[in-house]
């Protein structure tokens, strides 16, 4: 399944670049204090060109697995550990969302802390373990992967998943659009 997810992510990045880019490169806001291997050249005073980068150093989420005594779904590991890329604004069936990605090593460290906190909350509440992959326009809801099944769901923070969106992460990503109204 990780090969399908890698292909879905690669296609997603290419679609994002085609929708919001030039010359095969995406364009995003530039922050001089938040550097990334994805950065290319300057586009203008406030934006830069970017391209996704395969991580040159292998990353993993072993610290989370060890701390909580669990094994994370392989799709979650592939999703967060394979590429450096910006979080991109997208939509799923007309609903806006931000597909979370890792911009740099510091971002990866912050992400791991947030994932650990989320999973600890789920354990404490004795709920299905989920890992968030996207934020919605409504701060009370997340798009997450159910760790046990790999299904993509909509969940309210602190609650059990509300709605199944896709059977797996690759299927979900393939359904994303960049035509946000």
| Domains of the chain (ranges, CATH numbers) | 2-174 (3.40.1580.20)
Angstrom CA distances, 165 to 139, 155, 180, stand at 18, 10, 18
Biggest alpha carbon–alpha carbon distance for the chain: 49
pLDDT at 180: 44
Task: Encode burial over 99-137: b for 16+ CB neighbours within 10 A, e otherwise.
Answer: bbbbbeeebbeebbeebeebbeebeeeeebbbbbbbbee
pLDDT at 170: 97
pLDDT at 74: 96
The answer to whether 38 and 30 have CB atoms below 8 angstroms apart is no
pLDDT at 2: 80
| pLDDT tens for the 181 residues of the chain, in order | 589 999 999 999 999 888 887 877 888 899 999 999 999 988 998 999 999 999 987 899 999 999 999 999 999 999 999 999 999 999 999 899 999 999 999 999 999 999 999 999 999 999 999 999 999 999 999 999 999 999 999 999 999 998 999 999 999 999 999 854 4
Angstrom CA distances, 51 to 26, 67, 95, 119, stand at 6, 33, 25, 31
**What DSSP designation does 33 have?**
T
Pairing of strands 25-29, 47-50: antiparallel
Structure tokens at 132: 């968030």
pLDDT at 57: 79
């Amino acid at each position: 399944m990780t090969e399908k997810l890698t292909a879905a992510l690669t296609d997603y990045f290419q679609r994002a670049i085609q929708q919001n880019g030039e010359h095969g490169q995406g364009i995003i806001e530039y922050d001089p204090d938040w550097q990334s291997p994805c950065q290319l050249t300057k586009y203008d005073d406030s934006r830069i060109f970017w391209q996704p980068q395969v991580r040159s150093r292998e990353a993993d989420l072993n610290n989370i697995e060890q701390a909580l005594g669990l094994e994370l779904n392989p799709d979650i590991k592939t999703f967060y550990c394979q590429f450096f890329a910006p979080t991109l604004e997208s939509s799923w069936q007309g609903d806006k969302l931000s597909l979370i990605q890792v911009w740099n090593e510091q971002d990866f460290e912050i992400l791991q802390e947030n994932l650990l906190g989320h999973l600890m909350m789920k354990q404490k509440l004795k709920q299905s373990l989920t890992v968030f992959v996207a934020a919605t326009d409504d701060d009370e809801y997340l798009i997450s992967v159910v760790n046990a099944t790999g299904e993509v769901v909509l969940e309210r923070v602190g609650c059990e998943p509300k709605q199944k969106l896709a059977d797996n992460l690759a299927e979900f990503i393939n359904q994303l659009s960049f035509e946000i109204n």
